[in-house]
Structures are given as C-alpha cells and as structure tokens.
Amino acid sequence: MIFLCFQQVRKTLRPAKVRESLQPGTVLILLAGRFRGKRVILLKHLDQGVLLVTGPFKINGVPLRRVNARYVIATSTRIDISSVDQQTIEKVSVPDYFTKEKKAEKKTEEAFFKQGEKPEKKKVASARASDQKAIDQSILASIKKENFLGSYLATTFSLRNGDKPHEMKW
C-alpha cells in the first residue's frame, strides 16, 4: 500500500522590511563591495531590500548604485533631497536600468589575435551619465550649504585597533 502525501506550499512575496534608520537623505557607510568604506546618500528604497544610493560621484566617485540594505550602516547625518528630480529617480529605479548589455562575441580569428592586446576601456552610456549629473546637481547644492559635509562624504570610513564600533555613535 502506497500513501501519497501532498503538502501545499504557501509562498507569498512579502515586501522587504525596512530599518527605521534607512530614510531617504540619510548618509550611509558601505560595508562591502567595490566602494566599501565610502559614505553615500540614500535616495530611495527599491524592492527586495535593495537601496538606491549615490556618492555624489563628483565628491567620492560612487555612481548611482543598488546596494543591499544589510551591507550598510546608517549614520545620524541627513541631507535634504526634496529638490532632487523625482522623475529621474523613478527612471533610475527601474530594474532594467542596471542590467548589463549582452555581448555577442563569436570566436573568430580576429578575437584570437586580439587576446594579447589590452582590452578597450568601458564607456559609460551618455544617458546614465546625464542621469547621474541630474541627480547629483541638486544634492551637491544641499551639501554645500552645510559646513564640512563635502569633506565628510569624501573621506573613507575605517576602523583601527582599539576602536569599538558597538560603542560608537553613528
């Protein structure tokens, strides 16, 4: 005798729970990735617990990026981002905005002989560069209003021997 037991699995997509400290305009410290240690400004919460952040690029070289909320520390420093163009933020927050373009490179003789040469430098799409400038322009204006905020964002965060992060005020 064979007994079959089918159990229903109920999986629903739940929106990611957002920390109270992660409000738009908050200065965050990135803990992982290429830009770890950099201070960035939170622009918007995206789905699945991902945050849209910017450097601004002119100050510390961090472009518009998606960052997992688990890999940031929120500081108590806030910036007014109400003057940022909301249409541009909506345009950037679409998931397709950050997808890479697929290369259709066939294995040919030319590709074989190009292996020894230096690869071409990646070129940033002009649309992405213009979006970056549009968002950063209004953020830079609000940064200049506050003393030392530009230099604070430009410096990288690091810990030394004897530093106790659990006792620090963020």
Sorted by where each begins, the domain ranges of the chain are 22-93+127-157
Average pLDDT, the chain: 85
Model pLDDT, residue 143: 92
Q: What is the dihedral of CA 69, 76, 64, 89, to 10 degrees?
A: 90
**pTM attached to this predicted model:** 0.77
Task: Give 11-24 pLDDT, tens digit per residue.
Answer: 787 777 888 999 99
The residue among 115 and 42 whose pLDDT is bigger is 42
Query: Pick from 45, 40, 46: which is nearest to 64 by CA?
Result: 40
Range list of β-strands (E), 10-169? 26-30, 39-45, 50-54, 65-68, 72-78
Sign, CA dihedral 68-72-75-80, equals negative
What is the percent of the chain where pLDDT is above 70? 83
Q: Are 55 and 152 in contact (CB under 8 A)?
A: no
Q: Which CATH number fits domain 22-93+127-157: 2.30.30.30, 3.40.50.11900, 3.40.50.720, 2.40.37.10?
A: 2.30.30.30
